[in-house]
Structure 1
Amino acid sequence: MLMNSGEKAATLIYGPNGFRVVKPGHFVTCAATGEPIALEELRYWSVERQEPYATPEAATRRLLDLA
């Protein structure tokens, strides 16, 4: 996904059923891959680690890396 250079990163608090925007922005950065994730495409995150993930595979990779 290409991000416009004028778009800013958001700060979120991740909960078990959704997330809350603390600082408005257009995207967050995947904790496993470093790629930007548009907020409307964000589906995977860790409540415990408060991290977003681009894909289920990225979430699994991050979990295994931290184990």
Structure 2
Amino acid sequence: MLMSNTDRPARLHFLMNGFRVLSPGDHVICAASGGRIALDELRYWSVARQEPYATAQLASEAMAPR
């Protein structure tokens, strides 16, 4: 039986200009908000932290010095 990637989180390795899919899925979970991000809508992430973010604002807040 074939497994569907629908409604399953992907596991990614974030690179400077993209990402590599380690485990297939259709979304990732935002590290800041906990919301779902469809892979085709994923635009923001931290290479150093290996975390995805839903928006530029969430990414900036997460990476701001504390």
Please say whether Structure 1 and Structure 2 have the same fold, judged by a TM-score greater than 0.5: yes
Partner of 1:59: 59
Q: Match of 2:63, as an amino acid?
A: L
- Tell me, what secondary structure is at the counterpart of 2:57? helix
Q: How many matched pairs? A: 61
Q: Which runs of 5+ in 1 are unaligned?
A: 1-5
Q: Match of 1:45, as an amino acid?
A: W
- Tell me, what secondary structure is at the counterpart of 2:34? coil
1:36 aligns with 2:32: no
- Tell me, what secondary structure is at the counterpart of 1:59? helix
Partner of 1:14: 14
Task: Compute the displacement of 1:63 (Å).
Answer: 1.4
Q: Which runs of 5+ in 2 are unaligned?
A: 1-5
RMSD value, Cα: 1.3
TM-score normalised by length of structure 1:
0.85
Partners of 1:18 and 1:55 lie apart in 2 by 16
Partner of 1:3: none
Partner of 1:23: 23
Structure with more of its chain in helix, by fraction: 1
TM-score normalised by length of structure 2:
0.86
